[in-house]
Amino acid sequence: MNKSTSRKRKSSKNIKKQKHASNTISRSVPIQCDQNADKNLLSSWRLPEKLLSHYLNKGISRLFDWQVECLELPGVLEQKSNLVYSAPTSAGKSMVSDILIFKTVLEKRKKTIIVLPFVSITVEKVHSLKSVCRKIGCRIESFAGNVNPPGGFLKVDVAVCTIEKANNIINKMIEESKLNEIGLIVVDELHMIADSSRGYLLEILLSKLIYLKNQPSTTDSNLDFQIVGMSATIPNLINVAKWLNAQLYVTHYRPVLLNEHIVIDHKIMSIKRPSIDQCEFNPIRIIDPKIYTIEAQTMSVLIQLSIETILDGHSCLVFCSTKSSCESLARSISKTIFEIGKKTNAAKTEQEKLAKERLSAILEFEKITSLIDLLRKSTGGCDRNLELATRFGCAYHHAGLTMDERSLIEQAFRDGILKILCCTSTLSAGVNLPARRVFITSAFDFSGKLMELMSYYQMIGRAGRKGIDTLGESFVLCSNKDEEIVKNFLSSSVRPICSRLIPLKLIENLENNKDEENAKYQPSFNDYLVRAVLEIIVNGLAKKKSDIFNFISCTFLSACLSADDLLRKNHKFFEQLIRSVLRLLEEKNFIYFNDDLETKFSEKSIRSTLENELSNKIEITPLARAVVTSGISPSDGCFIFTELNRCRESLCLVNDLHLLYETTPTFVASQLPPLDWKNYLELYYNMDENLKKVAQLIGIKESFIYSQISDIGPANNTDSLLVHRRFYASLALYEIINEIPFAVVQKKFGLNKGLLQSLQQQSSTFAGMLTNFCYKIGWSSLAILIEQFQPRLSMGVQHDLIDLVRIPCLNSIVARQLYSKGYDSVVSLIHSKTSEITQILLHAYYPLMKETFLTNSHNVGETKIYISSIEKYLNIKDFAKLIIDEARQIVEVEIGQKLNFTEVDSDENDQKSENSQQLQEYSSIIRTNQIREQQISGENLQDPINQNEGLKH
């Protein structure tokens, strides 16, 4: 028997099976404040001992006054009332929701859904609560991007989700009549309902919950979930609270004082706010441009202030409007620091002399060197520009970097290794990276328009680190010519937020009594209201027109209009709007009415059906269910149906490229930079015959590529151009799923690593959506073919590694090494020796650690590797232990049993029995069935928009 086979037939004598049972602490004493006790003292709130110890270890022993007041609002702590509250960044917003989460899990014994806008924040939230949840015996998992925890939603107590995933989970729970298992829905960044691209989906999600609560006759009477929303400060937050039937609490308290400034050329002015919409600007300082020798004159003031910040022992964030400006500014700052500290350069001023002496002591060059080493080991290696900037404690952060690079940079900034971080505005709404000072290079965005005031407040909210700084400072830079514009911008008020279910122009018309203009409006198939109506019909919440109107009255759109009773006043308009939406859905074969099953509606039959709503119910087609279950828009659903139907008739399976093209989203064509068409032609010439066959089948034409090279082809987004750009992305992805290194793919296709990784994750997301679509529409054979691409794209692996890469901490390189040594599945690792896995890891990382092997071979096992899935640095041996532990956790969840493992460290334990092989086979069957169930139920759906997700290390 060879070594590989022996691993597959492990003995089950080392496994002691126990019945799978929840270890969650049972609470008979409710979490509430003791009478006559100090309400601010955390120990007065009857928290479980393990929970209290967790917060004490984090240095939290007292609640702020506002947190106590918020929790004591009528019905909030008893979870009988919904809650909407607003507080500045760093004011401790999450503490209020966390207490309610623990009450839900421990006392109500129900599930919690936490809704966050971005993948990166969901990961951060899970990491912040993972340890305490483990202590009290509850399971918290992330449902975001390509992350789908073993066992799915039913196996967790707390699900941290993106908006898209949360909506899919709610849809599934409604469909299965299990919504009563949910006790709490927490929505962070509630003001996102006004977001132009994703706000409508958050509104649909919450509107469904409100509608269900208001319709007891159509749902389970045991629905007692609480909705908690956290929002930025907005003028009409009271409207949001009324919409959610919630208690409202607003505080402006900041534990760390924030001082705002505006920098006009070399003059710094303080910003004082006597009232919400009033600013006072007072000159406080003039910057001397000659203190340091700075080559980049356009940003000399900012560079000087940032160096001043690190000389005082602090850190700073610099928000830039573009990725390129992030990089150039980071290089300029690093170059200035280098020139100041250079021994051969004589100091020209007293300040420069002092800076020269202090910088070498402040910058931790040994740790910086280790950081650069880790960046080199990350996915795709380290960019030369990033490495040069990082050498002097400065770095940049934007979407052009891989997830590994961004994670390493974020952690290094938190640890104080990096002192200055130049980033794009998306960081302000993403991961939590506070700093003493925040600089905004311009109040204008990349297109030259003024940024949103809420974005400004999000950025400056990062200034001041609780528990570290006594104050935070923000500086927005502007030129003399823009002074008045920027001052007026800073003096303005945040605009009220509004629903995105219908175009904003319609809402304005309704408010201004422009009935004639609205009468001319006909909804397009891309309108968000169309999706909202289709969802509630498919979910069984609306069976006739009156149900749809009742649902509309539960939306934020209704709340926006009801201040002046505009909804009732415009009843006729909404009735016509709903009629138009239903007509659209009927024309596109999403719905039909039960009195006419054979033919499409004539105009007359549609009108009579809608008027006789009590007797004519709305029915759905398989296409409608496929669209809603897969989480795509109705318009995309029509396109996908047509394209996949055509694909079924002429699918080429000589390689994976044709299927890969189908799993490449159409919108990626617009994300690609201008293509090098000469390189495209060379790639085309170098294809083998099978690849060319697929290319020609898809519609790739050599003549079209020549027309683009000679600049006589179509400049606009014609269908042919979009096909060629989409195929170009598919070719790059084809290399990735065949485990070609990122650096090679980047050079071959001229696409940066961040974009490649984004394409990879978006395509993985799309593959999951297509799989669900095909299962629901009845195309099972095609679904099975597409299904394999989700994990392959997500991790960049060939088919044989699909099972292994379910282990969160693995990447394609390590998985391939494990596979080559006989560890070909998750189950094959559960009895492995740590020493064996350590040796495999050393071999996997040898190319990245040659210097360590040659110069310090006896300590090579202590070499640190950054594991982005847990955001920690581990040595090789600890990494090996993590792999084994995560494999065991997956097996436990999948077989539904708690297992006790004995570490295999002696030769005598190498004797295996057939029971272990049975366990492997059983686990494989469970996994196969689970995947199929998830695909059919829609639980495995991914997010259509993937902001920050990348390869997991």
* pLDDT given at position 948: 32
* pLDDT given at position 514: 62
The yes-or-no verdict on residue 921 having pLDDT over 90 is no
Low-confidence winner among 96-110, 298-312, 756-770, 859-873 (lowest mean pLDDT):
859-873
> CA 285 to CA 269: how far, in whole Å?
7
Low-confidence winner among 22-31, 232-241, 388-397 (lowest mean pLDDT):
22-31
Summarize the confidence of residues 915-943 as an average pLDDT. Answer: 43
- Residue 413's pLDDT band, with cuts at 50, 70 and 90, is very high
Distances (CA, A) of 12 to 347, 827, 911, 917, 921: 72, 12, 10, 9, 13
- Residue 914's pLDDT band, with cuts at 50, 70 and 90, is very low
- Residue 567's pLDDT band, with cuts at 50, 70 and 90, is low
Summarize the confidence of residues 437-452 as an average pLDDT. Answer: 92
> CA 378 to CA 721: how far, in whole Å?
34
* Position 392, amino acid: F
**Long-range contacts formed by 670-678: CB under 8 A, 24+ apart:** 670/717, 670/725, 671/755, 671/758, 671/759, 672/725, 672/728, 672/729, 672/751, 672/755, 673/750, 673/751, 673/755, 675/708, 675/725, 675/728, 675/750, 676/750, 677/705, 677/708, 677/709, 678/709
3-state secondary structure of 279: strand
* pLDDT given at position 683: 96
> CA 578 to CA 427: how far, in whole Å?
39
Q: Where are the alpha helices (DSSP H) in 496-555?
A: 504-511, 515-519, 528-538, 545-552
The yes-or-no verdict on residue 11 having pLDDT over 60 is no
- Model pLDDT for residues 640-663, shown as the tens digit of each residue: 999 999 999 999 999 999 999 999
* pLDDT given at position 5: 43
3-state secondary structure of 439: strand
- 802/3: higher pLDDT: 802
- Residue 8's pLDDT band, with cuts at 50, 70 and 90, is very low
- Model pLDDT for residues 172-188, shown as the tens digit of each residue: 999 899 999 999 999 99
* pLDDT given at position 616: 66
Low-confidence winner among 550-554, 623-627, 712-716 (lowest mean pLDDT):
712-716
- Residue 267's pLDDT band, with cuts at 50, 70 and 90, is very high
Domain spans of the chain, in order of start = 3-14+799-927, 42-234, 257-491, 504-620, 635-795
Note whether 943 and 119 are within 8 A (CB): yes
The yes-or-no verdict on residue 908 having pLDDT over 60 is no
pLDDT above 90 covers a percentage of the chain that reads 54
> CA 690 to CA 365: how far, in whole Å?
52
> CA 866 to CA 382: how far, in whole Å?
14
* pLDDT given at position 325: 93
DSSP 255: S
Summarize the confidence of residues 227-240 as an average pLDDT. Answer: 92
Looking at domain 42-234, its CATH superfamily turns out to be: P-loop containing nucleotide triphosphate hydrolases (3.40.50.300)
Summarize the confidence of residues 270-279 as an average pLDDT. Answer: 85
* pLDDT given at position 414: 92
Note whether 739 and 797 are within 8 A (CB): yes
Task: Dig out the tokens for 656 from the structure.
Answer: 């994976």
- Model pLDDT for residues 829-863, shown as the tens digit of each residue: 998 999 999 999 988 876 655 444 434 444 555 67
- Model pLDDT for residues 22-71, shown as the tens digit of each residue: 455 555 578 888 888 899 999 999 999 999 999 998 889 999 999 999 99
The yes-or-no verdict on residue 664 having pLDDT over 70 is yes
CATH class, 635-795 region: mainly alpha
- Residue 799's pLDDT band, with cuts at 50, 70 and 90, is very high
- 585/216: higher pLDDT: 585
Summarize the confidence of residues 405-409 as an average pLDDT. Answer: 91
Task: Indicate the average pLDDT of the chain.
Answer: 83
- 928/402: higher pLDDT: 402
Note whether 797 and 889 are within 8 A (CB): no
- Residue 952's pLDDT band, with cuts at 50, 70 and 90, is very low
Nearest CA among 173, 169, 171 for reference residue 181: 173
pLDDT above 70 covers a percentage of the chain that reads 83
- Model pLDDT for residues 355-392, shown as the tens digit of each residue: 888 888 899 999 999 899 889 888 778 888 899 999 99
* pLDDT given at position 526: 66
The yes-or-no verdict on residue 283 having pLDDT over 50 is yes
- Model pLDDT for residues 295-330, shown as the tens digit of each residue: 766 788 999 999 999 999 999 999 999 999 999 999
* pLDDT given at position 426: 81
The DSSP-derived string for 460-497 is HTTBS-TTT-SEEEEEEEE-GGGHHHHHHHHHS-PPPP
* Domains 257-491 and 635-795 in one fold: no
Low-confidence winner among 13-17, 149-153, 196-200, 702-706 (lowest mean pLDDT):
13-17
The yes-or-no verdict on residue 947 having pLDDT over 70 is no
The yes-or-no verdict on residue 591 having pLDDT over 80 is yes
- Model pLDDT for residues 478-537, shown as the tens digit of each residue: 999 999 999 999 999 898 998 998 877 776 666 666 666 666 666 665 679 999 999 999
* pLDDT given at position 7: 45
DSSP 452: P
Per CATH, which fold does 257-491 belong to?
Rossmann fold (3.40.50)
- Residue 106's pLDDT band, with cuts at 50, 70 and 90, is very high
